[in-house]
Structure 1
Amino acid sequence: MRSVWPPSPGELTGADLEAIYAYPATLERAWVQVNFVASADGAVEVDTTSAGLSHAADREVFLLGRDLCDVVLVGAGTARAENYRGVRASAKRLERRRRLGLADVPPIAVVTRTADLDPHSPLFTDTVVAPIVVTTTGADTAHLDGTEVVRAGDDDVDLALALRLLAERGLRRVDCEGGPRLFAGLIAADLVDQLCLTVAPLLVAGGAGRIAAGPAPAAPRALALASVLVEDGFTLLRYRRGAG
């Protein structure tokens, strides 16, 4: 993998990538990075999952996002479609996170209006750190007994409040892995600090959706291009919050 913007000679090392994708050193609030992969014609999935769009370089950056964060944020629909399980405590991850002063493994926080989650799914049973359920005040969570529940909002999840409550728990480096509805909600609430978007050199067509699907914000959110990495025709774009 190499950087074409900013231009850099030679292949990028793991340390280079860690520096490129690092969170701000000092955070007093939740800082949200969103990760997505899409085809060249804008499709967010192939046969209902993102796996058909991915590549080793994209996967490396995806896993790096988990290594650098305090919490992985994901919508319930994506967690079900992608058969989510807990973040693995690999030797490489443990070395990096301990060196950076982070907890060994980040929890996964699942955003769901209804708390309609299966407590017998791998998300709950195949993990070393219990997930956090981010839901509404009226959601029935009796079937999730023993799971940490964060209630934010009455009829729908108030994402700004949810992030504040996660930040109060020390979970400020937020790595959002989708899905499109959660991303759209974050855009509408102007909560996106960074977008990491991999563009796959594929044409998918069909009925696949886009990376953000939901009500439009009052005005487009401005982003500034921060880096462009390439490998095997895959383009890894990183945008940061702009001034507008």
Structure 2
Amino acid sequence: MTNLADRPTFDLLVAEGTTASGTIIPPETDEPGLGLLLAHPTTSRRNGAVAGAWVRANMIATVDGAAWGHDHRSGSINGPADLRVFEVLRALADVVVVGAGTVRAEGYGTLDVPEHLRGLRAEARCADELVLAVVTRAGEVPAHLLADPHVLVVTSAEGAACLGPDLPSERLVVAGTDDVDLRAALTDLAGRGLGRILTEGGPHLLADLLAHGLVDDLCVTTSPTAVGPGADRIVAGDPGRPAADLRLATLLRARDVLVARWRVA
């Protein structure tokens, strides 16, 4: 059972673009305050970049822009404030979409919603189980995830051929021929009732999603540290891709940690 006393209180600085001074959000069972701030639009208002879906990205970065710390993992730059938001965002999602490289680097396994957030998830009417969708162009997924019934593989037709016949077809999202068609893949997920889509990167997948206009909002935790050169930014890849215009919707502070939710224009 999570000890809520170990979680920091947030000061709410901006809500829906308006200054919200004097409002605090303490950690509570089922996180009603944080859950309300971070809730996805209801089905009837889910008019996002992908029909029937709301696509949210969640990332953490250092003050100098690094997406990971000395060990090439985001876990070395996060802390209790980021964890509090991270768990609520997952509790409010139907599916978590992650690139295969990040899955391997971060050691992803079966996703679970903490006991103290099960009520929040039920109230939001999310899918019964939190699904992990691994994006892989080449069909390369760790064996332990291929054996997990709550894991979907999002790949191209060429990648699907590399996976072989053992993976049940209902756990396969095939979108594109030699590369993954991300819009088609997200549309497929929405059609399966997985319309509240959360992506946790990595930086190359987020770059692709932003470049194709497929992100509705972006949550970024700023970790109060600087790691120096060497790490990717939270958006990596071709510098010639179009920029995404953002509008600040929510800003939270827990001591020196900032958590912002940006709406993508």
Structure-1-length-normalised TM-score: 0.91
Instruction: Provide runs of 4+ in structure 1 moved above 4 Å.
Output: none
What residue in structure 1 maps to residue 264 of structure 2?
241
Q: Does 1:111 align with 2:135?
A: yes
User: What displacement does 1:53 show?
Assistant: 1.0
What residue in structure 1 maps to residue 11 of structure 2?
2
Q: What per-residue deviation string (whole Å, max 9, x for no partner) do you get for residues 197-241 of structure 1?
A: 011111111301100112356532211100111112011011002
What residue in structure 1 maps to residue 168 of structure 2?
146
User: What displacement does 1:10 show?
Assistant: 4.2
User: What displacement does 1:96 show?
Assistant: 1.9
What residue in structure 2 maps to residue 70 of structure 1?
94
Counterpart CA distance in 2 for 1:193 and 1:50 is 23
Q: Matches of residues 103-182 of structure 1 in structure 2 within 5 Å?
A: 103-119=127-143, 121=144, 123-124=145-146, 129-139=149-159, 140-142=162-164, 145-146=167-168, 148-182=171-205
What residue in structure 2 maps to residue 19 of structure 1?
36
Say what the alpha-carbon RMSD is for the aligned residues.
1.7
After superposition, the Cα gap between the structure-2 partners of 1:59 and 1:90, relative to the gap in structure 1 and judged at 3 Å, is closer
Instruction: Give, as a single letter, the amino acid of the residue that structure 2 aligns with 1:146.
Output: P
Counterpart CA distance in 1 for 2:40 and 2:217 is 10
3-state DSSP of counterpart to 1:74:
strand
Counterpart CA distance in 1 for 2:240 and 2:215 is 12
User: What displacement does 1:145 show?
Assistant: 2.3
User: What displacement does 1:143 show?
Assistant: 6.9
Gaps of 5+ in 1: none
After superposition, the Cα gap between the structure-2 partners of 1:88 and 1:24, relative to the gap in structure 1 and judged at 3 Å, is same
Structure 1 stretch displaced more, 4-13 or 197-206: 4-13
Counterpart CA distance in 2 for 1:199 and 1:91 is 27
The answer (yes or no) to whether the contact 1:134–1:157 under 8 Å persists in 2 is yes
After superposition, the Cα gap between the structure-2 partners of 1:89 and 1:32, relative to the gap in structure 1 and judged at 3 Å, is closer
2:116 to 79, 86, 92: 92
Count of residues in Structure 1 that have an aligned counterpart in Structure 2: 238
Counterpart CA distance in 2 for 1:56 and 1:75 is 24
Instruction: Give, as a single letter, the amino acid of the residue that structure 2 aligns with 1:75.
Output: G
Q: Matches of residues 20-35 of structure 1 in structure 2 within 5 Å?
A: 20-26=37-43, 27=46, 28-35=51-58
What residue in structure 2 maps to residue 230 of structure 1?
253
What residue in structure 2 maps to residue 212 of structure 1?
235
Gaps of 5+ in 2: 1-9
The answer (yes or no) to whether the contact 2:134–2:141 under 8 Å persists in 1 is no
The answer (yes or no) to whether the contact 1:225–1:239 under 8 Å persists in 2 is yes
Counterpart CA distance in 2 for 1:239 and 1:141 is 37
Counterpart CA distance in 1 for 2:163 and 2:85 is 34
Structure-2-length-normalised TM-score: 0.84
User: What displacement does 1:118 show?
Assistant: 2.3
What residue in structure 1 maps to residue 5 of structure 2?
none
